[in-house]
Amino acid sequence: MKIVIVTGSSRGLGASTALECAKRGIGVVVTYNRNPEKADDVVKAIAGIGGKAVALKLDVGNSRSFSEFREAVSAQLKALWDRETFDFLVNNAGYGLYAPISDVTEEQFDGLFNVHLKGPFFLTQALLPLIESGGHIINVTSATSRVATAGVAPYAAFKGGLQVLTRYMAKEFAERRIRANSIAPGAIRTELGGGLNVEFEAMLGGQTALGRVGEPEEVGGVIASLLSEENRWINAQNIEVAGGYVI
């Protein structure tokens, strides 16, 4: 059985990705930061469809915790799957902040940087010895790194940096045949940044060619599909999953 770690998978895109992977027969390591109950719900949902999963605590914004997380992963890989390695890493964990550049504090800037760029960099570094050769890393970025949207500058800048980092991962990990791609969602119905109200959703839908915002499973399904052998020749790409956002 292939195994995936999906960071930030107690809700939203991460939870949908975890479920979609489980539907395809992949074992899942779910991670959460503040909500173990939600993570347990995802594990139970995966068990309900015949899959196997475990939930582990992970604060992607605290790189000092990554060695401890790696040890927890190793223990669970052995206990649940009798393996020492896993196959796929989905760097998904994140949060939103809406504020113009003139109002962003250094603390807010650092928090977004730690979760959206520094975290994926050093978490991938920490877990790399456990990733099976021939594996795959997917970094979840954002269409806001292509379309300038007032109020999300730091978030978008770090997501753009993560897209660049993805290409470097593909280049440097190629010796071990580990692929790296990024997925850039557009407007999706999640709790990120406080969620969508009726007016905001209507505005975003009007900027999307298909006339609506996306659902979490529409992104999760693409991520799970990209992990499959059928897509083994896709590498070092940023794939926008946005229904035609601002085209």
Q: What confidence tens digit (pLDDT) does each residue in 188-240 have?
A: 987 765 567 788 889 889 999 999 999 999 999 999 999 999 999 999 999 99
Token pair 């890393």: residue? 137
Between CA 17 and CA 219 the distance in angstroms is 7
For the chain, what is the mean pLDDT? 96
Token couple for 33: 């930061």
Which residue(s) pair with 202 in the sheet? none
Backbone angles phi, psi at 67, to 5 degrees: -65, -40
Where does 3-241 sit in CATH, by number?
Answer: 3.40.50.720
Backbone angles phi, psi at 173, to 5 degrees: -95, 0
What per-residue confidence (pLDDT) applies to 198? 86
Distances (CA, A) of 221 to 15, 177, 226: 11, 23, 9
Task: Let me know if 155 is a catalytic residue.
Answer: yes
Q: What confidence tens digit (pLDDT) does each residue in 31-41 have?
A: 999 999 999 99
Query: Rounded to the nearest 5 degrees, what angle is found at the Cα of 239, between the Cα atoms of 171 and 202?
Result: 150
Beta strands in the chain (DSSP E): 3-6, 27-32, 53-57, 86-91, 131-140, 179-185, 238-241
Backbone angles phi, psi at 130, to 5 degrees: -95, -10
Residue from 32, 95, 155, 168 carrying the catalytic annotation: 155
What per-residue confidence (pLDDT) applies to 193? 54
What per-residue confidence (pLDDT) applies to 82? 98
What per-residue confidence (pLDDT) applies to 196? 73
Residue 86 has pLDDT above 80, yes or no: yes
Between CA 8 and CA 68 the distance in angstroms is 17
Q: What confidence tens digit (pLDDT) does each residue in 117-149 have?
A: 999 999 999 999 999 999 999 999 999 999 998
